Amino acid sequence: MEEESERRKAIALFIAFGTKGDVYPLAAIAAAFARVQQHYSVVLMSHLAHENLSSHLIKANVSYVPINSPPALSSEPHDTQNGTEKPFLEEKERIKRVHRQECHSAFRSIFGKDSCMEGDFVVINFFALEGWSLAELFQIRCVVAAPYVVPYSPPSGFERQFRKELPGLYKYLKEAPIGKVSWSDVTHWMWPLFTEEWGSWRYEELNLSCYPFSDPVTDLPIWHSRPPSPLVLYGFSKEIVECPDYWPLSVRVCGFWFLPNAWQFSCNKCGDNPFTGRLGTDDSRTCSNHSELYTFISSCEPALPIFVGLSSVGSMGFVRDPIAFLRVLQSVIQITGYRFIIFTAGYGPLDAAIWTIANRSHSSEKQPLHAGISIFNGKLFCFFGMVPYNWMFQRCAAAIHHGGR
């Protein structure tokens, strides 16, 4: 066992779940860490849907471990009739159960069965809370990193119920010395870990106590051990987001985390091009996947186009009727005369609706929207891929965005 620990490198495991805006920043940090700390084996665990990251990560010697769960689940069934709600909820529970099983299995494969090294650590985002319990199981330090403020807050009666049901643990956290895990950590981001959502999985599948910082046999607080307050890294600026005094002292606001330029293109040809900042201005360097987009943007019409970005909104079930959504844009175009660009984020029903409208106006062989297609008399350009927003927004009059990445 000792020889095994000496033989392998220390491991830095980054676990990031969610959509691109949740995952890509941590992937970029993992790549940067691997380039600087070459004595570490660096691994990123995320959804299979983000596996296109692996081509970038491999250049930085970062291993990619895919998990089969989708990046986002619809909040409600698409068809609320005919008793579909119960099967929908059962399917969500099944996906969650299988997801956690895969994470546990992957964790064991990464760290092995032997004792972990002192330098091992895990970095999770707020949608990868299973990583906290798995790190506890393997006795590995866990750090939180997110490009935005924690997206949830405890229910209004959480503290009262916690104090009533877990008086010993409440006292343990409230009386914590400075620098040790405390009640402020719980209220800031850890409180979901003390709910049934995670407690039953910890107890039944991991053989841990239902609650963090408790003995798995007695369920009493581990008074003999007070771990340090978990490090929380935020990827935004203090000039933009206020950081109140009641936040845990372990919170670090690091400034914005910007992705490498190559990661922001949907094709490797553009991503690897050293002249990407000039794309669209030099025909010899224009990628065929983006030439239609560049032509639309550089049109001689006096008004710049308006950008619409949906990202994960479609996959989360918030675009119930794509045809109606497109007709709203058509009405706006007719009233204002503006041109629009929409990034579909590969949402299948929206892509299908676009092709339905396109095929009504002219006959064309159905193809993926990699190169883009114009509808509504050339006033709405629909694009499947990605280009950097800092390039796009400079060429648009306005941006309508869902507020994610």
Same domain (yes/no): 220, 163: yes
Same domain (yes/no): 162, 302: no
Q: What would the two tokens of residue 163 be?
A: 């104090």
* Among candidate residues 187, 183, 158, 156, the one with its CA nearest the CA of residue 169: 183
Same domain (yes/no): 218, 288: no
Same domain (yes/no): 195, 304: no
In a domain, 130, yes or no: yes
* Sign of the CA dihedral with 155 first, then 160, 165, and 166 last: positive
Percent of the chain with pLDDT over 70: 86
Same domain (yes/no): 244, 309: no
In a domain, 258, yes or no: no
Same domain (yes/no): 32, 93: yes
Q: Which of 65-69, 255-259, 294-298 has the lowest mean pLDDT?
A: 294-298
Same domain (yes/no): 235, 270: no
Residue at which a domain ends, from 193, 222, 253:
253
349-366: per-residue pLDDT in tens?
888 899 889 886 554 455
pLDDT at 363: 43
In this structure, what CATH number is given to the domain that contains residue 165? 3.40.50.2000
In a domain, 312, yes or no: yes
pLDDT beyond 90 at 144? yes
Same domain (yes/no): 300, 372: yes
Residue at which a domain ends, from 253, 285, 310:
253
pLDDT at 44: 98
pLDDT beyond 90 at 118? no
pLDDT at 1: 44
In a domain, 172, yes or no: yes
Same domain (yes/no): 242, 310: no
CA 403 from chain center: how many Å?
13
Question: pLDDT averaged over the chain?
Answer: 87
pLDDT at 318: 77
Residue 150: helix, strand or coil by DSSP?
coil
- The partner residues of 306 in beta bridges, in order of sequence, read 340, 398
pLDDT at 294: 85
**Phi (first) and psi of residue 398, to 5 degrees:** -160, 160
- Determine if the pTM surpasses 0.85: yes
pLDDT at 360: 67
Residue with tokens 């229910």: 155
Same domain (yes/no): 54, 183: yes
pLDDT beyond 90 at 277? no
Same domain (yes/no): 385, 273: yes
pLDDT beyond 60 at 42? yes
Residue at which a domain ends, from 253, 276, 292:
253
Same domain (yes/no): 184, 294: no
- The partner residues of 142 in beta bridges, in order of sequence, read 122
pLDDT beyond 90 at 188? yes
For the chain, the domain total comes to 2
**Residue ranges making up the domain that contains 229:** 2-253
